[in-house]
Amino acid sequence: MLYATLLTDLSEGILTATVNRPEKLNALNHQVMADLEMLMDEVAACADVKALILTGAGEKSFVAGADISEFLAADAAGASRMAQRGQDVFARFEQSPKPVLAAVNGFALGGGCELAMSCHLRIASESARFGQPEVNLGIIPGYGGTQRLTRLVGRGKALEWMMSGQMIDAHEAHARGLVNHVTSPKELLPESRKLLSVILSRSPTAIARVIAAVNASHDGRIDGFEEEVRLFGECSGTEDMKEGVTAFLEKRKPIFPGR
């Protein structure tokens, strides 16, 4: 699929999508949001895509935030629609049954930090910088940042970072649980692929249910424990479960059919 603002490459089941607006530090605008939504349509529909890496063009920025010029034309209703649109698109990443990893190179600020947090996993370059600096513009995070940052790092640190608008370096982000791993800029994509390759060697039907169960823990409409029981029961009817158990008993490596 061709995109106006994304570059894509599919290799060994891993689709790498690069936000390609380096002259704007890969800032989010209406077109990027539309392309991200179409990207998740492709991930969902294409059987050849087993996992997704999301990154930004160049070494300076993953996604530096939203395109601020679009804010000035919006009244309160328009701003609310913009925030809802961002939340809806980012939810597609969080709810994907296929693993989604943000390879964060450089700035991940505002909407860029929110986009990274909507991915299941985050690996950061040593040069990465995270933050929700919206208070400097007289606004607050609107694409899910107040919720996801709080879940990842805790209420106290989330409030401190969002109220101060300060940037966080990769190592502090790792220490606080915002990112899974920190690596050199050169190794960012290789390490991202390495982690996803390990995950893709496991049962895809089980991975999808792990994601669903974890998401349920933050959904006030669902009892997470009950959802875990239901999803655990579903696993018993899959070919993946039969293959996994049989391979364990036969002391061999499983070959999961993904069904």
What are the pLDDT digits (tens) for 148-183? 999 999 999 999 999 999 999 999 999 999 999 999
Average pLDDT of the residues in 14-23: 97
Report, as residue numbers or ranges, the catalytic residues: 114, 134
Given a contact cutoff of 8 angstroms between Cβ atoms, the answer to whether 111 and 65 are in contact is: yes
Q: Residue range 181-199: average pLDDT?
A: 98
Helices and strands (DSSP H and E) totals, the chain: 10, 10
Question: pTM of this prediction?
Answer: 0.95
Above 80 in pLDDT, residue 36? yes
Going by C-beta distance under 8 Å and a sequence separation of 6 or more, which residues neighbour residue 58?
A: 22, 26, 105, 106
Which overall architecture, per CATH, does domain 6-200 show? Alpha-Beta Complex (3.90)
| Count of CB atoms situated within 10 Å of the CB of 14 | 20
Tracing tokens 């002259």 back to the chain, one arrives at 23
pLDDT digits (tens, 9 = 90+) for 72-84: 777 889 889 999 9
Measured distance CA(94)–CA(102) in Å, rounded? 11
For 134-151, what is each residue's pLDDT tens digit?
Answer: 999 999 999 999 999 999
CA gap 43, 51 in Å, rounded: 8
Tell me the average pLDDT across 172-197. Answer: 98
Tell me what the mean pLDDT of segment 227-255 comes to.
94
Instruction: For residue 130, give the H/E element and its range.
Output: strand 129-131
